[in-house]
Amino acid sequence: MPTNKTSLKRPASSHAEPKAKKAHSANPSEKTTKRSRPVTQPLQADDEASSDEGDDLDNGDGEVELEEGGEEAVRSSKDPNATRESHQAQKQLQQQRRAAKPHSALLAEAKKAWSLARQKNTSKEERTKHVKSLMDIVRGQVTDIVFKHDASRIIQTIVKHGGTKERNEIASELKGHYQALAQNKYSKFLVTKLIRLCPTHRTSILLEFQGNVRRLLLHREASSVLADAFELYANAYERSLLLKDFYGKEASLFTVTTGSTEDKEKSKLGLAGLLRGTDKDRKRRVLSAMKENLISIFNNPDKGAVSHAIVHRALWEYLIAVDEIGDEAEREKLRRDIFESCQDVLAEMVHTKDGSRAVRDFIAQGSAKDRKHIIKAIKPHVERMCTDDEAQLVLFTALDVIDDTKLTAKSLVADVTSAASTIYKSPQGRRSLIYLVSPRTRRHFTPAQISLLAETDLIRAKTSKKDDKVRSEEIRKAASESLLRWISEKTVDIVRDPGGSLVVGEVMLYAEGDKSDASAALVTLMSSSYPSEDPANPHLITLPHVSRLYKLLVQGGHFSQITKSIERSPLFSPLEFAVKFIDVVGRDNIVVMAQEEAAFVVAALCETVLASDQEGLPARKLLKSWLGGDVKQQLAKDSEQRGRKLLLEQIAAL
């Protein structure tokens, strides 16, 4: 078996195992997905390897295997004979220790086959041959050896590279031991692999966790196994099996999992399906047990279970059930109790769909004091939340709901705008910036996202006093100055980026305040010689997204497919921008732009000055003199080129 000079034991990690795609693909070579990372955790490089790859094996007790040239040889390099003797003595000692352990002969034989099966440059046929040989060696003795570090990695290789037959054999042999395997720091990775790659055994594996789900979630090793199973691999019915532990012992007594279609369909409804048709007393007892179970999780935040999607789903189901209670006093008490137990760990929940919904519900239904506490909890993580699909919805809901706009401006808006240079590079970050000035616009937010944000609108109407339009204007005003200053200072970098140009367009159109500096910086970019004298550094207007940006600004708004016209923003003057563009860019550049890639931009210039209805406008006279005569004739020669026909119409109207 090939080894490094010094083979060190790999440290166990709850995040060391890559995750499979949601589609439960049995092909381990496909790109895998991982659980969404809480915004409270620091970003890490995505270089975590599979638990059955990488470092070579130790002997299971942390003893290090050394070859010639290792540390001992370095220390005794002056005496080669002493080095050789020391190495021989150490090797003999290791062999004696291995031979004295149970199944030593089996493991020694398995490691020889394993060293061949795990090679990355082995052909598929050769690997299949070695895996079958490896399976023949360990068959019938998997449960005896799987808890050891080295043996666990051997079994993982069979599961990873073996066929359906080998995987099912391993899964069948381990039946009845999955709870213990999940709690072992070595074999927990094997359980995750079997859940991922053996869909026919997945339900039976998860059933072994029933009755102990909450305890396992608080277990250092088993927690990640359950989290991966719930978030990445389980279907709706299998998730319901894991959630049942949160409903309490009584719920497990009057619900029997038969595996029938009717039972599965009812289970998919979760708590709502369980409580359907039950009397008030039983419903009250189930909710009471559920509250206690959730609080036991929230009271142990150091265990890490608070950040798992299964806990967030249980919390969201609980909140939905509480909202259906007819007694308002009882409803408010239950909501207050659960909020007070989790208010300090809400930032751990915002990264999942159900966690985000729960936190947004707390914001919408909470008092001014509650909202202030939530803002305090999430404030240290605002930048990370801006770039997370689910977490950013919490920020948007806070901006939509909280009446104290001075608080949100200071605690949220300021942090979002100060991170603009970092977050605009991702689609999520751009949405966070655009929401400040143009919330829920269909140009940048999908119908599904808008629908999710609208879930709290009915509650907002009852719990918030300030008019929605006034609140939105105050948020826009609080963000405008910082965003405009950012554009004027980082103009080149932002405009050159395709996504950044989208943010520039929305901010320039809909932000409030003095836009002269930002406009001047944008126009100055176009004043360089066109076409560029340096082929390696072309003029920015030749980039399609830059051309679209300047066309948008010159025309003063977006084109509406409904009205078939430009919907100009009342907060931006396209005429002022067009006049400044003409003055700064100059005749030579504008004439060449008209004849090259930027014909649409020049056409928009002409349209804007025409729309001003000022016959004596200097800019109009300049365009007419620059684009008439020979230039117009040259344009007419190739009128079929993109934008030429429209430009000629605008020139004629001048």
Question: What is the per-residue pLDDT across 640-649, written as a single tens digit (0 to 9) for each?
Answer: 677 788 888 8
Q: What is the DSSP string of 619-645?
A: HHHHHHHHHSTHHHHHHHHTTTSTTHH
pLDDT of residue 260: 60
393 neighbors 453 (Cβ within 8 angstroms): yes
Buried b (16+ CB within 10 A) or exposed e, 85-120: ebbeebeeeeeeebeeeeeeeebeebbebbbbbbee
Is the predicted pLDDT of residue 551 greater than 50, yes or no? yes
Q: Are the C-beta atoms of 392 and 426 separated by less than 8 Å?
A: no
- Which residue in 227, 385, 209, 196 sits closest to 303, CA to CA? 227
Task: Go through the chain and tell me how many residues it has.
Answer: 654
Higher-pLDDT residue of 585, 255? 585
How many CB atoms neighbour CB 601 within 10 A? 27
pLDDT of residue 70: 45
| Amino acid 632: pLDDT | 84
Instruction: Using pLDDT thresholds of 50, 70 and 90, give the confidence band for residue 256.
Output: low
Do 534 and 528 form a contact (C-beta atoms < 8 A)? no
Residues 6+ apart with CB under 8 A from 107: 98, 101, 145, 148, 150, 151, 154
Q: Is the pLDDT of residue 8 over 50?
A: no
* Tokens read off for 574: 């396209």
* Cβ-contact 593, 539 below 8 angstroms: no
pLDDT band (50, 70, 90) for residue 475: very high
Residue 489 covered by a domain: no
Of 173, 205, 233, the residue at which a domain comes to its end is: 173
On whether residue 136 sits in a domain, the answer given is: yes
- Of 130, 145, 173, which residue sits at a domain end? 173
User: Is 38 among the domain residues?
Assistant: no
Residue 470 has pLDDT above 90, yes or no: yes
CA neighbor of 122 nearest in space, from 41, 298, 2: 2
Give the C-alpha separation, 67 to 70, whole Å.
Answer: 6
Could you write out the DSSP letters of every residue in 30-71?
Answer: SPP--PPPPTTSPP--S-PPPTTSSSPP--SSSPPEE-TTSH
Count of C-beta atoms within a 10 Å radius of residue 75: 12
Least confident of 5-14, 174-183, 314-323: 5-14
The pLDDT assigned to 653 comes to: 83
Instruction: Give the pLDDT score at 238.
Output: 93
538 preceded by cis ω (within 30°)? no
Residue 642 lies in a domain: yes
Q: Which whole number is the average pLDDT over 183-204?
A: 95
| C-alpha to C-alpha distance for 427 and 203, rounded to whole angstroms | 37
| pLDDT at residue 248 greater than cutoff 80 | yes
Rounded-to-integer distance, Cα 558 and Cα 385, Å? 29
> pLDDT confidence of 79, banded at 50, 70, 90?
low
pLDDT of residue 106: 82
Q: Tally helices (H) and strands (E) across the chain.
A: 39, 4
Q: Quote the pLDDT of residue 533.
A: 78
Cα–Cα dist 641/141, whole Å:
75
Is residue 428, in this structure, part of any structural domain at all? no
pLDDT at 74 over 50: no
In a domain, 455, yes or no: no
More confident residue, 6 or 157: 157
Q: Which domain holds residue 11?
A: 1-16+51-173
User: Which residues lie below 8 Å from residue 388, measured CB to CB, with a gap of 6+?
Assistant: 36, 39, 350, 351, 428
pLDDT-derived band at 432, boundaries 50, 70, 90:
very high
Determine which of 57-61, 207-211, 278-282 has the lowest per-residue pLDDT on average: 57-61
The CB density around residue 211, as the number of other CB atoms within 10 Å, is 14
Going by C-alpha positions, the residue among 184, 185, 235 that lies closest to residue 206 is 235
Evaluate whether residue 453 is within a structural domain.
Answer: no
In the block, residue with structure tokens 């405008």:
480
**56 HSE (CA, 13 A, CB side):** 17
Is the CB of residue 623 less than 8 Å from the CB of residue 589?
A: no
Indicate left, alpha or beta for 161 from its phi (over 0: left) and psi (-120 to 50: alpha).
Answer: alpha
Share of the chain above pLDDT 90, in %: 62
pLDDT tens profile 108-143: 888 888 888 888 888 999 999 999 999 999 999 899
> How many folded domains does the chain comprise?
2
Q: Tell me, what's the pLDDT at 393?
A: 97
Question: What's residue 348's pLDDT?
Answer: 96
**Range in 65-69, 219-223, 535-539, 571-575 the model is least confident about:** 65-69
Under DSSP, the state recorded for 409 is I
Does residue 101 carry a pLDDT above 70? no
Q: Could you tell me the pTM of the whole model?
A: 0.85
Q: Pick left, alpha or beta for residue 587 (phi over 0 → left; psi -120 to 50 → alpha; otherwise beta).
A: alpha
Q: Average pLDDT of 350-378? A: 96
Look at residue 312 and tell me if it is in a domain: no
Q: Is the pLDDT of residue 12 over 80?
A: no
Dmax over CA atoms of the chain, in Å, equals 102
The mean pLDDT value of the chain amounts to 85
Q: What is the mean pLDDT of residues 423-445?
A: 96
* The predicted structure's pLDDT at residue 279: 82
Between CA 27 and CA 436 the distance in angstroms is: 43
Instruction: Using pLDDT thresholds of 50, 70 and 90, give the confidence band for residue 263.
Output: low
Domain limit, last residue, from 146, 173, 200: 173
Q: What percent of the chain has pLDDT over 70?
A: 84
CA within 13 Å, CB half, 650: 23
Question: What pLDDT does residue 63 have?
Answer: 36
